[in-house]
Homo-oligomer: A and B are copies of this chain.
C-alpha cells in the first residue's frame, strides 16, 4: 500500500450505498472540452463510483440500466449558481456558466455523501457573495505567517512547487465554492516581491492554470514599494508620474504572462509595510492608482483596511486602535474607484475570540467591501485547541449595522445587496499547510470547509455546515455524528470561556499568541490594553472614553454606549467596570471571570472525553492526531484558567465565592 502523503479531507468518498446502475453523461450547451466542465465530470465520475459503486460510462459505452447526468447550460440560472434535481432517470444539472456546473456537481456529490440517493438530489442556489476568497500568508521560504499546519505547499526554498497536491488543493477549494485565491502573504518581502517578474512568471502561470481548471482565479499580494524594491526607483509615490508609468509597464507585462490573473491584494501603511502615507497621499490615492492601471485588464485591487498606529504608547488612553480603521477609511468613502474593494477584518482589532463587528462594515456606504476573517487560529488556539469558528462568522454576517432599511446586515453589505454593487464578498486567512491532514488538527478542516460553504451561502447555519462536513469526512453513525457536531458547536464558547473574558481580548502570550499572558500586551506598543487595576477592568470606549462607540450607527452606538444595554459578552470591550459590577446573570464581574474560567476548563475536558468516546468510529490515525491535540488543549485550558483567575484574584483581592483553588 502506498503511503498516504496527504488526506482527501471531505472528498474522501466513503461508500454510501451499492447502486445498481451505470451512468451516462449528457452535455447540453456545455462542451466536454471546456476545462472546468471536463474536471467537473471527472470529479463526478470519481465520486459516484466511490460513493455508490456505480460506473460512469465512457462516450461509446452503454448499459441496460443506465441513468444520465445531464449538464445543461441555462442562462436564467444566476452566475455561478446551479439547479440540480434527481429522478429515477438520473440527475439534471443546470447552470449558466462553468463554475455553476462545477459547483452543481459538488452539490450532487455532497448530497449523496450526506445520505441522499441520486434520485433524491435536489438544490437550486447561487452564491451569496461574488468573491469567495482564500488568503494565503505563505512566504516564499516555505514558512507560513501564523501557520499551524506545517510549511507551505506552494513554496519551498523560494521556488514554486506544483504537484498532485496542488491539484487536490484546487479541487477542495472548488468543492466549497472558492473562486479566488491569493497565493502569497500580504506582508510581501524578499523573493515574494519578484512574483511579478520573469523569475516566477512561468510557475505562477502554471499554478494559475491549475486553479483555472477548477474555476478559481489566482491573485497575488503586491508590494506597494515594488517600484523601489524591484524597479530601482527612489519613490513609490502613487501620484508620481514616473511611478505610475512604471506600474503601467509592469502590469502590462504581468497580464501578458498571466492573462487570467484576478488582481492584487495590498497591505499598505500597516505594521511597517510601505504605503501612500509615506508620501502624504491617501489610501484612496494608492488604491486608485493601482486600480486604474489594472482596469484595462479586468483586474481588481483589494486594499486591506488594517491600518493603525502600531507604535502606540500604552500610557496614552486617548488613542484607540479600535477606532483606526474607521478613522482612516470612512472619510474617503466614495473616493475609491469601482474596481477597488476594501477588505475589512470582522472586528476592529485582530481576530480575537470575541470582538464587536467593525464599524467600517456598513459604515462605508459608497465603497466596495469585503469581509476578512481568519480560519488560521492565530488567537483562537493554533489549530491545537478545538475552535469551530463558523458560529463567530455567522454572528458577524447577521449583525445589523443599520446602514440601510431592511438590508443592513454585514451579509447584505458585502454581498452587494445593500448598495447594488457587484464587487464584494468574503475572504479568509487560510489555515492550511503541508501537514498530512492539511490543517494540523483534523477537526480544524471544519473551518476550511465551513468558510467556503458559508461564503457561498450565508444563509447556511453553523450546524448544517458542521453536519455536512462530518458526514463527508467521517461518515459516522448518527449518535457519534451528533456528538462530534455538538463538540464543534460548543467549542468556540468553551475557548472563549477559558481565555480572555467578556470581549476584552489580548491576554495572550506576545508574539506567539498561544496561551495566556494577562499582561502580555498591556504595556506594549500595539494598542491592546485591558486597563485592569485593583478595582476594575475594561476599556472605556463610550462617548466619555475613546468615543469608539460613536463610530456605529445610532442604534448600535447607543446600545454599546450604555453598560445596561451593551451585550455582556462584549461589555469589557466597551466599558471599564468595577469587579463588583453586577451582570444580568446576578453574578459580579469578578465572579463571572472565575466561574467562566473554571467552566471553560471543565468543558474542554468534556470535549476531550467526547472525542475519546468516538475512538471506535474514527480512523485510527485521525483519532490519534486529534487526541494528541486535546492533550495539549487541556494543558492550555488549565494554564488559561489558573493564570487568569490568579491574576485577577491577586489584583482584586476578591475571593471566589465557591472557594475553588486559585493560586
Enumerate chain A interface residues (CB-CB to B < 8 A).
314-315, 516-520, 523, 532-535, 639, 642-643, 646-647, 649-653, 663
Report 27 cross-chain contacts, Cβ distance below 8 Å, ordered by A residue: A314-B663, A315-B642, A315-B663, A516-B523, A517-B519, A517-B520, A517-B523, A518-B519, A519-B519, A519-B647, A523-B639, A523-B642, A523-B643, A523-B646, A532-B650, A533-B649, A533-B650, A533-B651, A533-B653, A534-B534, A534-B650, A534-B651, A534-B652, A534-B653, A535-B653, A650-B651, A651-B651
Q: Which residues of B contact A535 (CB under 8 A)?
A: 653
A314 to B647, CA, bound (A): 12
Q: Which residues of B contact A519 (CB under 8 A)?
A: 517-519, 647
A646 to B517, CA, bound (A): 17
Question: In chain B, what residue has the closest Cβ to A647?
Answer: B519
Question: In chain B, what residue has the closest Cβ to A316?
Answer: B663
Q: Which residues of B contact A651 (CB under 8 A)?
A: 533-534, 650-651
A580 to B259, CA, bound (A): 74
Prevailing SS type, chain A contact patch: loop
Q: Which residues of B contact A649 (CB under 8 A)?
A: 533
A654 to B663, CA, bound (A): 23
Q: Which residues of B contact A532 (CB under 8 A)?
A: 650
Q: Which residues of B contact A647 (CB under 8 A)?
A: 519
Task: A533-B649, A534-B653 given; name 16 further pairs at CB < 8 Å.
Answer: A314-B663, A315-B642, A517-B519, A517-B520, A517-B523, A518-B519, A519-B647, A523-B642, A523-B643, A533-B650, A533-B651, A533-B653, A534-B534, A534-B652, A535-B653, A650-B651
In whole Å, how far is A642's beta carbon from the nearest beta carbon of chain B? 6
A645 to B542, CA, bound (A): 27
A663 to B639, CA, bound (A): 28
A517 to B524, CA, bound (A): 10
A516 to B652, CA, bound (A): 22
In whole Å, how far is A372's beta carbon from the nearest beta carbon of chain B? 30
In whole Å, how far is A578's beta carbon from the nearest beta carbon of chain B? 12
A649 to B651, CA, bound (A): 10
In whole Å, how far is A311's beta carbon from the nearest beta carbon of chain B? 12
A643 to B524, CA, bound (A): 10
A519 to B643, CA, bound (A): 11
In whole Å, how far is A618's beta carbon from the nearest beta carbon of chain B? 32
Question: In chain B, what residue has the closest Cβ to A518?
Answer: B519
Q: Which residues of B contact A517 (CB under 8 A)?
A: 519-520, 523
Q: Which residues of B contact A650 (CB under 8 A)?
A: 532-534, 651
Question: In chain B, what residue has the closest Cβ to A646?
Answer: B523
Question: In chain B, what residue has the closest Cβ to A314?
Answer: B663
A615 to B642, CA, bound (A): 53
In whole Å, how far is A576's beta carbon from the nearest beta carbon of chain B? 12
Shortest beta-carbon contacts, A-B, top 6: A533-B650, A534-B653, A315-B663, A519-B519, A523-B643, A534-B534
Q: Which residues of B contact A639 (CB under 8 A)?
A: 523
Q: Which residues of B contact A315 (CB under 8 A)?
A: 642, 663
Question: In chain B, what residue has the closest Cβ to A524?
Answer: B517
Question: In chain B, what residue has the closest Cβ to A663?
Answer: B315
